[in-house]
Structure 1
């Protein structure tokens, strides 16, 4: 009881102190932790927003890549950072929506230790097949997979990766028996997909578009509810499988107990950045759709997506050791 009271008093004092200095926030550089290696999709978007966000906040926003543990390493760093508005997590579904069901134990509480600031973007995926597979539409592919159970392989960037879970969702939605082949990253998966060692994948449009354009891969459906401007002739998978959506959401969160004034300022400035035409054009070139919204909307999305992927993971039996 005494310990809880002390914690409550410390939080109150910190909140009062922050409130007094709120008009000066931020007064020093901010750290934007990206729990992935440099050069990937999340890193690309994080760096794209960091520069204009720095200008709006009047302080540097420093991108800090902390890959490892399926994004749990970076998430844990932020979860345990001071709740002062100066440490942010640029994240994808793993830390709060998927890893709690993929891993036996996490070093942080995924429902309590990270608080949503705003949705940033959606990274659209596309279902592709090797050009030599005798199918030209999604329906033909589903029929082919049903007629050849266990003979079609799908590639992913690794066990528990969004491309893995998207494939498992497809299996369950289409009622097909296809075999998951995990790789150590999208690059090796793409190599075997192009050579025909595996027949299918659901991953980033930006990664696959050059090979779709060259004819090496055939796009059968995008994993968003609407068509993508990058692939306007490719229908959504949802046209064939009602309600299907598997486009990783990217968002920003902060440690719990971060003062509301800091969250509101960050939300306001990030949303303003996402509305600029320059950033929209920059993200569109990478196949990314900017989003935005309130902290409450993002928190609700975390909860709903967590339940969605929990079901997919439980049915598939997917695990990360």
Structure 2
């Protein structure tokens, strides 16, 4: 009996000390640089969003934010790496539906669920953009669709079974054509391939490469036309109700303390409030909309998207 009581007492003391230690760490956080693992290559939409907030957030946290790029397997490489890191708030994961939601639905090696990570904050959202080289004979999306019915077109995305890939395949099924998918490592590489004429079309969640001598934007997969491109129709307007909105968010490994989650989310929101005009202007230049979804809201949104794509993939196999 005495031995049992002693074991229980030691266990209780350990828990109390452990809890106090954890609380102390959370209260002092951060005391060193914060790493964000990016499962995409540099130069794409995720890199843009992380960089957009980097400076202002560093000033609030008073610590550097370091990006670690680990592209590969449509985001799976970086996501699995981040899953293995300590949940101490110093190693985070940048995530989008393509890199985070789709791998478990399309790859047997993606042995994780949303529950294996801690949701922190969504930052921006942007629709998929369907682009062709400026010298392309296809001036409109209808032109491209009609051309694709008679000629096997090639299109690039930033990876197999990404939202861009699924959106394009869905368009082909709805419109009655089959195109050849050429995956690249990163949105920048996919768009550059189109600029160079290596593919007939590119699909990605970025308009950074649209402009004279580069790419022409034909359509977007969203509910509304983009503010910067009022003459470019949505796929829904053309009769193809395809979901293609991308959310750029930050997560941590499972078990990040609530206090640290709150500190990080508050830092990003405060950074935006202090630099609202500048951040909004830069975000809009690439057609990003600021959309903060904190913790449970973020988890709910990604779970709904997960359920949508799971059903979508089952129907389009």
Query: Where on the TM-score scale, by shorter chain, does this alignment land: which range?
Result: 0.7 to 0.9
Unaligned runs of 5+ in 2: 1-10
Query: What residue is the counterpart of 1:67 in the other structure?
Result: 71
The correspondence for 1:104, drawn from 97, 105, 108, is: 108
Cα offset, 1:45, TM superposition: 1.8
> Take 2:15 and 2:127, find their aligned partners in 1: how far apart are those partners?
40
Contact 1:128 1:218 in 2 (8 A): yes
**How big is the alpha-carbon RMSD for the aligned residues of Structure 1 and Structure 2?**
3.2
Contact 2:37 2:92 in 1 (8 A): yes
Matches within 5 A, 1:12-161: 14-106=18-110, 108-129=111-132, 136-139=139-142, 141-142=144-145, 145=148, 148=150, 151-161=152-162
Query: What residue is the counterpart of 2:281 in the other structure?
Result: 281
Please give the TM-score of this superposition, normalised by the length of structure 1.
Answer: 0.80
Cα offset, 1:209, TM superposition: 1.0
Query: What residue is the counterpart of 1:245 in the other structure?
Result: 243
Cα offset, 1:60, TM superposition: 2.0
Unaligned runs of 5+ in 1: 1-6
> Take 1:55 and 1:136, find their aligned partners in 2: how far apart are those partners?
46
Contact 1:222 1:236 in 2 (8 A): yes
Farther off after superposition, 117-126 or 245-254:
117-126
Alpha-carbon deviations, 1:165-212, whole Å to 9, x = none? 22123234x3422223214345665466457664433224424412xx
Residue 177 of structure 2 aligns to a residue in which SS? coil
Cα offset, 1:280, TM superposition: 1.9
> Take 1:79 and 1:65, find their aligned partners in 2: how far apart are those partners?
15
Residue 250 of structure 1 aligns to a residue in which SS? strand
Farther off after superposition, 45-54 or 269-278:
269-278
> Take 1:93 and 1:13, find their aligned partners in 2: how far apart are those partners?
39
Query: What residue is the counterpart of 2:177 in the other structure?
Result: 177
Q: How many residues align?
A: 304
Q: Higher Cα Rg: structure 1 or 2?
A: 2
**Matching of residue 310 in structure 1 with residue 275 in structure 2:** no
Contact 1:136 1:220 in 2 (8 A): yes
Alpha-carbon deviations, 1:190-245, whole Å to 9, x = none? 466457664433224424412xx45x754332222222123122122222346433
Farther off after superposition, 188-197 or 264-273:
188-197
Please give the TM-score of this superposition, normalised by the length of structure 2.
Answer: 0.81
Cα offset, 1:263, TM superposition: 0.9
Farther off after superposition, 303-312 or 187-196:
187-196
Query: What residue is the counterpart of 1:260 in the other structure?
Result: 258
